[in-house]
Amino acid sequence: MSHVLILRAPGTNADQETAYAFQLAGATSVEILHINSILETPTILDRANILCIPGGFSFGDDIAAGKIFALKIKNHLTDLLRQFYNDDKLILGICNGFQVLLKSGLLLEEDSEGSIATLTWNLSVRYIDRWVHLRTEKSNSVFLRGIESMYLPIAHAEGRFVLRDNVTQPLQQLALRYDSEENPNGSILDVAGVCDVSGRIFGLMPHPERHVDYTQHPNWTRKSPNNARKHHGDGLAIFQNAVSYFQ
């Protein structure tokens, strides 16, 4: 039984798409809640075993992308979400959600000097909206099981993954990379997604929820309709993996 809680904030705009992706993947239930609901009634988390922070521009991306959302989690929900994780549950962050997971310290634990990695401005210093080819790395990520490559859209201005000087530990947790010939933002080692050491927390910049149906592929009209209908979009497998973890 997979019960999904999608955590949104002012400025989140991919919550409905993400909910649909989990529903299509066979989730038992999917609920979208504002972060204030969790702050007011923390026990709401007890009814979910998958937590997802979707894409968008939480709190207008003031200060930095995902920073305010991350601070709310760090200051008020860290212990609660650590317990959620310790109960063998899953946490997924997509685009802005990836930024939140990194900046809250949930995905990669901070050391005595603070964050060891972050997502910052693209090298172009511009917002990028395009499709990219991706390849998975050998990892224990629950979300990427059985996936070797994907073609997904990206839409971000602050998606460049960087490490603090002399830090190498996260390099062992790289799970998803851009095709090296089309790294869109200048991320170190073409990083597009990172998982925690257990594989149960995963953050990625591309949007799998925007390619769960074959008609969402930019070239779908050029494919044979009969053949295309036999396949879902590349992104659906990520949600199916999360749902099947509890079956």
pLDDT tens figures, 55-106? 999 999 989 999 999 999 999 999 999 999 999 999 999 999 999 999 999 9
pLDDT-derived band of residue 113, with 50, 70 and 90 as boundaries?
Answer: confident
Per-domain residue ranges of the chain: 3-244
Identify the active-site residue in 158, 209, 211, 232: 209
Identify the active-site residue in 95, 158, 217, 232: 95
Annotation says 95 is catalytic: yes
Tell whether the model's pLDDT for residue 49 goes beyond 70.
yes
CATH class (in words) of the domain with range 3-244:
alpha beta
Amino acid 225: pLDDT: 54
pLDDT in tens, 167-207: 766 677 899 999 988 899 999 999 999 999 999 999 999 99
Identify the active-site residue in 156, 158, 207, 217: 207
**What are the residues whose beta carbons fall under 8 Å from the beta carbon of 40, sequence distance 6 or more?**
none
Annotation says 209 is catalytic: yes
Tell whether the model's pLDDT for residue 229 goes beyond 60.
no
